[in-house]
Structure 1
Amino acid sequence: MQTITVGPARIREAVTMREAIDAVRAGFRDLAAGEFEMPTRTALRDGQFLVMSAHHRATASAMIKTLSLNFARTPAITGTVVWTETGRVDGLVADAGAVTTLRTGAAVGVATDLLAPADAGCLTLIGAGAQAPDQVRAVHAVRPLRELTVVATDPRRAEKLAEALAPELPGTQLRTATDAEAAVAEADIVCCATNTSDPLFSASALPARVHVNAIGSFRPTMRELPDELLAHSTVVIDELDAILAESGEILHALEAGALTRHDLTELGTALTTPDAPRSERTVFKSVGVAMQDWAIARLLADKFLA
């Protein structure tokens, strides 16, 4: 028996964003079908340490991720993803930072492919941290981008991210901005990847037809989206128990009466009803669930374990 260790560079070389999106999409379908045993994650020190686990019944495989979060350091996400399967003797340990950003992007790719207008191609990304690049890559994989605006309170961070992504986005018009309210006005897709505790923009700032992804907030005290947007949008979430435990914007909207639980549709369920009626504005809210990490870990296991 041996354990294979896979670092960030090898993860990036081994798994394309399109592969990640396809794997996470299949995972959400299996989650909806009851194929996973997946406890709500353990959060310690107000979310600075997280432990997540998932068991996929059909393959008798399991994944455990432990990580620490510190937005004041680089990298902000550190930890390990451990993969085991009853049919394989060897195990796999992967870098949690690379797996987390890749699987979070992939979930956004799945949701954007399902919910965004077919002709969408103008993305406003709010946030320029560790999660931001894979948000762009995932959206671009399912809706080739004509325009990208990167919004950050520090203009240098926005410019640095735009420059880093430019080689991957030939033909895409790149801009940077510091005013989120103004930057979302012409977007048909918006991605929010911040750790704010206050909404990033007002609902009135958005176009009438827009898809919004919000992945930054993962604690009840964090909130990227306003109640008014959630009240007048089709709202899709990753998993109900996780959302009710951790999503500040959903909890705030429920308490304010802007939403009810019946207004929330899990992504796995939405994938089984792709033609269901939706409003002109759609929202995907994700706090991240262990199944997504399992999906990426399984890809890595298939590539690196005999």
Structure 2
Amino acid sequence: MDVVTVGPEEIRSAVSMPAAIDVVRNGFLALRRGEFEMPTRTVLRDGAFLVMSTHHRPTASAMIKTLSLNFGDRVPAIVGTVVWSELGHGRHLVADATEVTRIRTGAAAGVATDLLAPAEARTCTLIGAGGQAADQVRAVHAVRPLTELRVVDHSLERADALARALGAELSVDNVIAVADADEAVRDMDIVCCATTSTTPLFSPASLTENAHVNAIGAFRPTMRELPDELLADATVVIDEREAILEEAGEIIHALGSGAVTEDDLIELGDALAAGAGKRTGRTVFKSVGVAMQDWAVASLLAQTFLDQAR
């Protein structure tokens, strides 16, 4: 068996954000068509270890990702491996899961933003300046070129550093770090939440009437980034129903309070198939991440690195 190992720098050079958005978008449509065998992820030590796997039937390819997560005292907080294999040959690809996870999580937000955010949206607030944060903005910028970015974090210094770095990278001149989340989201078109918060981050009253919100940070029932009032008032799109009902704290809380029902939740694949149409009012994309997204990014890596090895 031949094993091709791909590190963070190789992943970044091989996978652009627009390409990741395209392949993840196609992945959500394929998931809707039933092309993936995808068990709910295994959660160990109350979310400290995760195992995710999926099999894509048409290509007889499979992906398994293992992660360890430590948001308290480790940088990066998310580490692990992605393993790609195919029945057609014996070569395996092993990739750094930190970079794959960042890219695929950003790409899903990019897919949702492209579908749900107003076409004229150009301003974004990012809440959270951790490892997942930058790719949220990169993905939004890929589908809605930004003219203004605000970054919120419990460390204003870290927020300022990330805002300046992203402004330089993406050529966004109007960037600022803000201490207060309600102030930061006011009058903004798009809000990206990438935190491990256990309480809602802002009041719905601070949002514009047509704001789009991506919430990717909370991945356990005890975590919660969004208030019930926002979910009750918005069109709520989710990545995958079974995973959301088991893991998404804000959705579980809103269902329990009666703010939303399961019928209010629209899977992203269904929303993509239906098309954007003319949406009014607020929209929310809630994601806990599913293995198909990792498979999608890994498929790009396999095309690049395994094809070179054959």
Q: TM-score, with normalisation over the residues of structure 1? A: 0.98
- 5 Å-filtered alignment, 1:43-62, equals 43-62=43-62
Tell me if the contact between 2:115 and 2:276 (Cα under 8 Å) persists in the aligned partners: no
Query: 1:74 aligns to what?
Result: 75
Name the CA distance, whole Å, in 1 between partners of 2:276 and 2:170. Answer: 30
Query: 1:86 aligns to what?
Result: 87
Residue 260 of structure 1 and its aligned partner are, at CA, apart by: 0.4
Query: 1:175 aligns to what?
Result: 176
2:296 is equivalent to residue 301 of structure 1: no
Say which SS state the counterpart of residue 114 (structure 2) adopts: helix
Identity of aligned residues (%): 66
Say which SS state the counterpart of residue 305 (structure 1) adopts: helix
Query: 1:4 aligns to what?
Result: 4
Query: 1:16 aligns to what?
Result: 16
Q: What are the superposed Cα offsets for residues 205-226 of structure 1, whole Å, 9 maximum, x if unpaired?
A: 1111100000000000000000
Tell me if the contact between 2:166 and 2:172 (Cα under 8 Å) persists in the aligned partners: no
- 5 Å-filtered alignment, 1:143-158, equals 143-158=144-159
Query: 2:257 aligns to what?
Result: 256
Query: 1:211 aligns to what?
Result: 212
Say which SS state the counterpart of residue 111 (structure 1) adopts: helix
Q: What are the superposed Cα offsets for residues 187-230 of structure 1, whole Å, 9 maximum, x if unpaired?
A: 11000000000000011111111000000000000000000000
Structure 1 residue identity aligned to 2:18: R
Residue 276 of structure 1 and its aligned partner are, at CA, apart by: 4.9
Query: 1:231 aligns to what?
Result: 232
Q: What are the superposed Cα offsets for residues 139-182 of structure 1, whole Å, 9 maximum, x if unpaired?
A: 00000001000011111110111122122221431111010011
Task: Name the count of aligned residue pairs.
Answer: 306
Name the CA distance, whole Å, in 2 between partners of 1:32 and 1:276. Answer: 19
Structure 1 residue identity aligned to 2:111: V
Name the CA distance, whole Å, in 2 between partners of 1:226 and 1:258. Answer: 10
Q: What are the superposed Cα offsets for residues 54-110 of structure 1, whole Å, 9 maximum, x if unpaired?
A: 000010000000000011210111100000011233110000100000000000000
Unaligned 5+ runs, structure 1:
none
Q: TM-score, with normalisation over the residues of structure 2? A: 0.97
Query: 1:267 aligns to what?
Result: 268
> Cα distance 1:221–1:290, how it changes in 2: closer, same or farther (>3 A)?
same
Name the CA distance, whole Å, in 1 between partners of 2:88 and 2:115. Answer: 34
- 5 Å-filtered alignment, 1:192-211, equals 192-211=193-212
Name the CA distance, whole Å, in 2 between partners of 1:191 and 1:98. Answer: 19
Structure 2 residue identity aligned to 1:66: T
Tell me if the contact between 2:116 and 2:276 (Cα under 8 Å) persists in the aligned partners: no
Structure 1 residue identity aligned to 2:38: M
Name the CA distance, whole Å, in 1 between partners of 2:175 and 2:138. Answer: 14
Query: 1:28 aligns to what?
Result: 28
Name the CA distance, whole Å, in 1 between partners of 2:65 and 2:263. Answer: 31
Query: 2:110 aligns to what?
Result: 109
Query: 1:38 aligns to what?
Result: 38
Structure 2 residue identity aligned to 1:33: R
> Cα distance 1:151–1:236, how it changes in 2: closer, same or farther (>3 A)?
same
Unaligned 5+ runs, structure 2:
none
Name the CA distance, whole Å, in 2 between partners of 1:292 and 1:275. Answer: 21
**Stretch of structure 1 that moved more, 278-287 or 221-230:** 278-287
Query: 1:292 aligns to what?
Result: 293
Structure 1 residue identity aligned to 2:43: A
**Stretch of structure 1 that moved more, 134-143 or 170-179:** 170-179
Name the CA distance, whole Å, in 2 between partners of 1:170 and 1:37. Answer: 41
Tell me if the contact between 1:234 and 1:279 (Cα under 8 Å) persists in the aligned partners: no
Residue 122 of structure 1 and its aligned partner are, at CA, apart by: 0.4
Name the CA distance, whole Å, in 1 between partners of 2:221 and 2:17. Answer: 29
